[in-house]
């Protein structure tokens, strides 16, 4: 019974995707989806409580449709890390090409509605992808590349986005196999240059570590976001003027420190010590200590009271 219900849901998802690809999600009604699925609107609502739930299920379906073959490629034996990554890039681009009409319509709909927030489930997936990418880069280029995984991630993301725009263009098709080869070649060139010149990273390793720190647990666990929440909290709790100003200054200094390539351990420890003067901030401060420990080489020392 469960399998039949799941099969029915998948059929509805595929039907909705066909309609969304032609009309867009905002112009497609649940009644139209029900009719094309050969069922009543009431029966449709028994499976999906709202259009929003159906849309979310479609995105998850597409995500899994792409993710599962990528995982399978990762588990293949007899291939080098470079070959696996190259094949995964081609798999990704092939699926994007298959879904291009649907994806183009959804992008237009999102732009029209002014959506900017990333769903929580996708945030969690993005963090997992960052961890996977970091591991891949280390496997290809060694530990020396780790300080540059943030920069490489940004560059690769931009290149793949450009490839997708090419795939979306009806008159300028480039085979996905050539795109995959091109991406790996460009990565090799960029990585070799970074390792040779050793410039200061734009996206520091500390920032990448901070993103990965939230992989297990609440996605909001990001030092910069937590610092912002603490600044907001200062505005609503009763504190003496000088105490409030000192706490606000300490948070501002911490925030600035998180935005530089190499956060200074002494500055971080000093600002955390200052914030102890505000017992109202005790709980978020405890969480902040834990998150900021990722930025330090000596995690034990940071977690101790200065």
Q: What is the pLDDT of residues 43-95, one digit of tens each?
A: 999 999 999 899 889 988 888 888 889 888 888 888 999 999 999 999 999 99
Tokens linked to 137: 């880069």
Q: How far is CA 256 from the centre of its chain?
A: 23
Radius of gyration, alpha carbons of the chain: 24
pLDDT in tens, 83-130: 999 999 999 999 989 888 888 887 776 655 544 444 554 555 566 677
Tokens linked to 168: 């979306």
185-191-194-195 Cα dihedral, nearest 10 degrees = -130
User: For 2-74, where are the E strands, in sequence order?
Assistant: none
What is the pLDDT, as a whole number, of residue 215?
Answer: 46
Taking the CA atoms of 277, 280, 281 and 283 in sequence, report the sign of the dihedral they define: positive
> Contact at 8 Å (CB) between 233 and 284?
yes
């Amino acid at each position: 019974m469960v399998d039949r219900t799941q099969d029915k849901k998948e059929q509805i998802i595929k039907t909705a995707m066909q309609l969304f690809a032609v009309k867009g999600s905002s112009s497609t009604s649940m009644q139209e989806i029900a009719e094309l699925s050969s069922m009543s609107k009431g029966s449709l609502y028994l499976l999906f409580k709202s259009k929003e739930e159906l849309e979310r299920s479609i995105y998850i379906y597409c995500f899994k449709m792409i993710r599962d073959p990528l995982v399978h490629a990762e588990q293949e034996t007899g291939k080098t890390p470079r070959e696996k990554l190259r094949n995964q890039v081609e798999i990704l681009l092939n699926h994007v090409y298959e879904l291009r009409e649907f994806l183009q319509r959804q992008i237009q709909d999102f732009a029209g509605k002014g959506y900017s927030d990333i769903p929580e489930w996708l945030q969690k997936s993005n963090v997992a992808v960052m961890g996977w990418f970091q591991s891949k880069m280390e496997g290809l280029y060694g530990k020396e590349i780790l300080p540059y995984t943030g920069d490489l991630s940004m560059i690769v993301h931009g290149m793949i986005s450009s490839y997708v725009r090419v795939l979306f263009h009806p008159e300028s098709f480039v085979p996905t196999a050539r795109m995959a080869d091109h991406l790996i070649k460009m990565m090799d060139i960029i990585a070799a240059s970074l390792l040779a010149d050793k410039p200061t990273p734009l996206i520091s390793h500390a920032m990448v570590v901070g993103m990965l720190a939230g992989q297990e647990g609440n996605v909001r666990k990001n030092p910069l976001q937590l610092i912002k929440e603490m600044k907001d909290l200062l505005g609503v709790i009763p504190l003496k003027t000088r105490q409030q100003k000192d706490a606000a200054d300490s948070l501002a200094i911490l925030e600035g420190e998180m935005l530089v390539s190499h956060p200074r351990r002494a500055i971080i420890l000093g600002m955390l010590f200052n914030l102890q003067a505000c017992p109202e901030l005790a709980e978020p401060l405890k969480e902040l200590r834990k998150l900021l420990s990722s930025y330090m080489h000596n995690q034990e020392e940071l977690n101790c009271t200065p």
